[in-house]
Structure 1
């Protein structure tokens, strides 16, 4: 028997814990099976509540462009990651580097980020339960109340400011007075085994309820290493989620959530695509390129056993105090800990040319603690509404961040004259595999920190019952920085003793190279040579170079929306977006703080958007059309300049740019048996004024002079000019008592996508389309059991999903390919 409100308020926490353990099977049976809307009802998204304006409302009532998906739609369309999400969201692109799970959102050409300590920040922010956090990668897209993608600058209502948009994951919150849940199992090819489930448990009538959910996904990889047999791009992750809803009175509502994600996968099976003739390693790489082209994109050969390991923990509390019928105070607090390490093979060959080996054993490449605090007050009397608040974010590395990288050993060490290339006989004599000798660079201690503070407010006023004006303003203050230490592994240079024993070098030469390079402090050596001196500092007496910066700027919004009738919303909005400035530590180390590329200016964006949202009824036919057009102007847009220093890309500013675009979403239900949907976006993104800054030759960094280049009139990277998706669901007439049987086909297509700002071979991802098929039988024979047979990418299209465009810089380029054709069976039981 559940406990009444009055009795609960007089009990201790211990008694409440006893009540949790004492739920009887009879109590669970009192709740009726969870009702399941028909597929057509769900497609209409009529009941999806969104929080795009930090209050609950229908998506059709929000005067901005957004895409919203329910959990059932996510399931039906097979959306398991952000890469899947982009296929069904206008203007959204999700790209990664050679790490498959390092996904980056780009909306309307805006996105990307710097890194913790270097500033910049994300252009598109992911939110979980109104807390800015990591929302890409595996383990996020389950047991959601809604998934919302907001387009355009955000900030006058949100915790974190953005220039491109926001992706909101709203988990299903615990429900009072009902036991419900589901269990879902998926089995498929590539040894696919996946499952998810949730259980909602009421503890005290109208006062306390909890919800526990979990997910796991395992699958073999689809790219095989022909040397080691390792299957790259596999899936092996799980996540757990706990939610508690506590309503001690009619005026207080408190939601607490804990979310944990664990990823332990083999990493990306990158494919070598091109080699630049005349580059340093071209003669060695060309045979491997020929072998790779003969193998195709489902096999590779790497020198590094790549992997991706990550653990993410998030705890949050969102408490709302209803001070009166018109006034609400909200406090949102979160604590997050992210730890990850990864190994990548940057050259995608068996040669040790550019490899990240991961962190020290027991350590991490990334070990970041993030705390956020947001307070917000909301007044709404029906005609006048104002929301105002403050936001604070602080992040820092809790332990030293460590890195091990591998590059070819230089003839005289890192400051010597080029790589050592061994003839076959010498390879045999030394017992090494390949013509290059690997050298390890050790970073035993790096640290980062960042902080963001903001004050914001937004006012809505009904000029007439159907015409509403909106105005908002925000100011954000950011600071960031960090330190780094690096030295050369002494064991890498002991090979010179072997070379001396073989008579290749003299013992004196071997001793000189080892004495100079073993434990040599890398950045101190670079600085010494650049200043005309001689490197002498050895680990652990290295200096610890530091980098830091500050930035601040405004965000604003002006809008007008008109409810023409109960089914039509017309709106116009203009917004200013701000993204923090940044720094380039590598430029500071080699060229000093005063060099123009050391500091990166804040990104400033001003957009104008008009749109119409309309629901239609023609007899028994229902339809929906949502259309938006926009123009976005940029000043100092932050871009990656692929002219690198010491092998590292740098962040820079393009002076001016613009994006012109259109987004549309359509839905037609001609009958209860047929649902037709479509999305489309057009984005013409172009730099208007973009001249790169020249980089001088840096002998200590083995970097040649890189002249200034005029890239004006070139298109943005990571933006498809055209994207569309088509979705058709056809119900199969069967007896109503037998359930709901349907066939679904979904096709998504995008035009070519530039991935490098400077022209080079394969600088564009070719157009591609993906076809998914699904047969679904819900409520089988009147039960709570659903079954589906599905196929994704059924035409087995080969397409690229990442890009490492180093052709003009390092002399080679590579990529990761998307998932091949997959099929499987999915079962779900609802209760």
Structure 2
């Protein structure tokens, strides 16, 4: 409570501080010189589909620059959440964890079907399955947009969007090569080459990243080291500008993973459930082993291959009209052997693919987006008109082999999703201080899916409906969903350093299908809707030093909210069942601050609060009135600082940076039984020491570490419920440390 009191007091003090005024501008010359020497760098964002200053956009955005990503040692989504207020990461597999923003998360988890998430991830403006290692290299920045999105972005979401923006080719020769090494036999190589082939017309940028690291969790039965890292990724970008006002950018990217699987550590049981009672001896054994050893009986693996090609063409037809087209194709393939209970008992196992097959599941995604961007300067109007299309399918016949309590089943899974939308967005200057903006989108979604469950002899064993005795393979279902979404924002800029805005947004997320389904009434679920209200303030202050504060308060009212919970379907699988559970309310605030007391010192921090709960109790579902949504901490805060010490030309520039983040306890489920379990609160400390440009040679040396206090904390897993009878978790990384050397050349 004392910590929260001091944070609140600090926030009030910062808000009460006056912004820069004309009197500040008339300060003595030495004060002005100091202000010029100590400025806070701005970040260019693309939240409104064009490049703008972060501080000038009336949208709640947390943007993390490339330099900040490196200073904090961000190499995966698990690392990224440390720097983000109002954002959390959780899931059932390491490196495949999904984002939660303001209480909204990934949605359905059914293996082999596409997930319509509440928080979409984008790579180079295209929806993409980007998470985990192999993404966080040669990025321009990462932007997290809070609240419903859709009138300006390809995919409709009710929670937010995470934008990964890769570095673009430039017209200058340059690049670098970086080698890193650390504990757990960590090795990593990263290299970038930027080359103008034809000056001012054609340039290319090549980037690659390869990493290996041993696992830090060991199975005492199989001897395998789990939670390892083994991937390689590449990116090639070609920028073609044959004439003024015309630009064509093509990005080809890919990643492969051949690493050990995710550990599962048995954490607690429900002795009133037969399976929980059977696990009791193993729980005692696991507790004696600790969290870095597990009882998983067989080797597990995580093999994935991803490829994408994106082409963005922009043509300035005139000073007032720009045409933009974004077309992309992305392919992803997965083969995972997973065991989720952390015991030697064969409870729920996803097995290896059979001989002759390489992959279990896949996703082929094609998108096409066309925009008309225009402006009418005489009336202060900017607008965007657009069309979006997306088609997604597996790309090959999927087959997933699962073992449920020793019974092996073969699941053939198919799907095809199509989404089309028309959208429009406009901004108009009412006067020098007020701007009104708004957007409208209409979306048409069509979803198809099928499932067939067979035994190893190829005989259909799938009862449809469950328990009826009717055997049918495949069972197919489909659904069509459509809805408008819209928003309006009023912004006020009393000075060029202060922006105040208020917004209302109506969001929509597609309905979908539960396959397999425990009963006919659960085969499909309806769309989700949200009415979102937000007030925000972005300001740069002068309090004797530059200070930037961004804050927002929000209230989100959900209708037919989609809640996912694990269920057991006898003879078929453990799967995630999605249901619409009435109304829910998410509300809270977020505050970020950056200060630069001196040219050599930078300080930053954030705090966020979230109250996310169902407004009704729905028996038999994961919805209890007033209970905090699963995996969502009420409180998060973080602090960071960087010191650059004066040094000679011979030595180079010495910098020290450190960051600390903390989040409160989270619920693991929202069921109405007595087994409401939690993950404990935790705080993580990281640090980095860097010696840059040693002897003006372009060589940078660094020593870095994360989780320096070796905190034991949980990232995700299977929560304890009355149907499963057990809870297994996977834990965050232990203390990691290492060194790196980078050689830079050119510009």
Q: TM-score, normalization: structure 2?
A: 0.91
**Cross-structure match for 1:399:** 396
Secondary structure of the corresponding residue to residue 369 of structure 1: strand
CA–CA distance in structure 2, aligned partners of residues 480 and 803 of structure 1: 28
Secondary structure of the corresponding residue to residue 803 of structure 1: strand
Counterpart check, 1:179 vs 2:173? yes
**Cross-structure match for 2:11:** none
**Cross-structure match for 1:794:** 708
Q: Larger Cα Rg: Structure 1 or Structure 2?
A: 1
Counterpart check, 1:360 vs 2:361? no
**Cross-structure match for 2:182:** 188
**Cross-structure match for 2:596:** 669
Secondary structure of the corresponding residue to residue 255 of structure 1: strand
Secondary structure of the corresponding residue to residue 632 of structure 2: coil
The Cα of 1:476 is off from its aligned counterpart by 0.7
1:807 counterpart (693, 696, 721): 721
1:530 counterpart (443, 446, 467): 467
Counterpart check, 1:168 vs 2:167? no
8 Å contact from structure 1 (residues 120, 602) kept in 2: no
Secondary structure of the corresponding residue to residue 557 of structure 1: strand
The Cα of 1:116 is off from its aligned counterpart by 8.8
**Cross-structure match for 1:452:** 419
Distance 1:802 1:45, change over 3 A: farther
CA–CA distance in structure 1, aligned partners of residues 253 and 724 of structure 2: 40
Moved more, 106-115 or 662-671: 106-115
**Cross-structure match for 2:547:** 623
CA–CA distance in structure 2, aligned partners of residues 317 and 213 of structure 1: 18
8 Å contact from structure 1 (residues 656, 690) kept in 2: no
CA–CA distance in structure 2, aligned partners of residues 41 and 458 of structure 1: 37
The Cα of 1:482 is off from its aligned counterpart by 1.8
- Long gaps (5+) in structure 1: 1-39, 409-437, 491-518, 536-541, 695-707
Distance 1:710 1:76, change over 3 A: closer
The Cα of 1:545 is off from its aligned counterpart by 1.0
CA–CA distance in structure 1, aligned partners of residues 40 and 339 of structure 2: 44
**Residues 355-380 of structure 1: CA deviation (Å, up to 9, x unaligned):** 11143342422222110000000002
Secondary structure of the corresponding residue to residue 582 of structure 2: strand
Matches within 5 A, 1:487-526: 487-490=454-457, 519-524=458-463
The Cα of 1:810 is off from its aligned counterpart by 1.7
8 Å contact from structure 2 (residues 72, 658) kept in 1: no
Secondary structure of the corresponding residue to residue 530 of structure 1: coil
The Cα of 1:591 is off from its aligned counterpart by 2.8
Aligned residues: 703
Distance 1:353 1:645, change over 3 A: closer
**Cross-structure match for 1:691:** 618
**Cross-structure match for 2:624:** 711
CA–CA distance in structure 2, aligned partners of residues 342 and 113 of structure 1: 20
**Cross-structure match for 2:21:** none
Matches within 5 A, 1:309-458: 309-361=303-355, 362-382=357-377, 383-408=380-405, 438-443=406-411, 445-458=412-425
Secondary structure of the corresponding residue to residue 130 of structure 2: coil
Secondary structure of the corresponding residue to residue 374 of structure 1: strand
Secondary structure of the corresponding residue to residue 560 of structure 2: strand
Matches within 5 A, 1:108-147: 108-114=102-108, 121-147=116-142
Distance 1:116 1:601, change over 3 A: farther
Distance 1:249 1:243, change over 3 A: same
Secondary structure of the corresponding residue to residue 325 of structure 1: coil
- Long gaps (5+) in structure 2: 1-34
8 Å contact from structure 1 (residues 307, 342) kept in 2: yes
**Residues 129-148 of structure 1: CA deviation (Å, up to 9, x unaligned):** 11111121211111011111
8 Å contact from structure 1 (residues 360, 403) kept in 2: no
The Cα of 1:123 is off from its aligned counterpart by 0.8
Matches within 5 A, 1:706-785: 711-735=624-648, 738-758=651-671, 759=673, 761=675, 763-785=677-699
**Residues 463-499 of structure 1: CA deviation (Å, up to 9, x unaligned):** 0022110010001111112222221225xxxxxxxxx
Moved more, 160-169 or 610-619: 610-619
CA–CA distance in structure 2, aligned partners of residues 107 and 190 of structure 1: 32
CA–CA distance in structure 2, aligned partners of residues 481 and 675 of structure 1: 52
8 Å contact from structure 2 (residues 640, 657) kept in 1: yes
CA–CA distance in structure 1, aligned partners of residues 79 and 413 of structure 2: 34
The Cα of 1:41 is off from its aligned counterpart by 11
Counterpart check, 1:103 vs 2:97? yes
CA–CA distance in structure 2, aligned partners of residues 127 and 149 of structure 1: 10
**Cross-structure match for 2:482:** 552
8 Å contact from structure 1 (residues 366, 401) kept in 2: yes
8 Å contact from structure 2 (residues 112, 362) kept in 1: no
8 Å contact from structure 1 (residues 327, 380) kept in 2: yes
**Cross-structure match for 1:254:** 248
**Cross-structure match for 1:637:** 561
CA–CA distance in structure 2, aligned partners of residues 794 and 141 of structure 1: 21
CA–CA distance in structure 1, aligned partners of residues 78 and 371 of structure 2: 33
**Residues 53-97 of structure 1: CA deviation (Å, up to 9, x unaligned):** 100111111111111111111011011111111111011111111
Counterpart check, 1:54 vs 2:49? yes
8 Å contact from structure 1 (residues 119, 480) kept in 2: no
Distance 1:117 1:261, change over 3 A: closer
Please give the root-mean-square deviation of Cα atoms over the aligned residues, in Å. Answer: 2.0
CA–CA distance in structure 2, aligned partners of residues 401 and 41 of structure 1: 60
**Cross-structure match for 1:653:** 580
CA–CA distance in structure 2, aligned partners of residues 827 and 772 of structure 1: 19
Distance 1:358 1:116, change over 3 A: closer
Distance 1:489 1:236, change over 3 A: same
Secondary structure of the corresponding residue to residue 816 of structure 1: strand
Secondary structure of the corresponding residue to residue 249 of structure 1: coil
CA–CA distance in structure 2, aligned partners of residues 257 and 311 of structure 1: 17
The Cα of 1:118 is off from its aligned counterpart by 5.9
8 Å contact from structure 2 (residues 567, 724) kept in 1: no
CA–CA distance in structure 2, aligned partners of residues 710 and 744 of structure 1: 43
Q: Which has a greater percent of helix? A: 1
The Cα of 1:166 is off from its aligned counterpart by 0.7
**Cross-structure match for 1:472:** 439
**Cross-structure match for 2:68:** 73
8 Å contact from structure 1 (residues 358, 405) kept in 2: no
Secondary structure of the corresponding residue to residue 73 of structure 2: coil
**Cross-structure match for 1:264:** 258
**Residues 200-220 of structure 1: CA deviation (Å, up to 9, x unaligned):** 011111100000000111111
8 Å contact from structure 1 (residues 116, 449) kept in 2: no
Distance 1:150 1:204, change over 3 A: same
Distance 1:351 1:161, change over 3 A: same
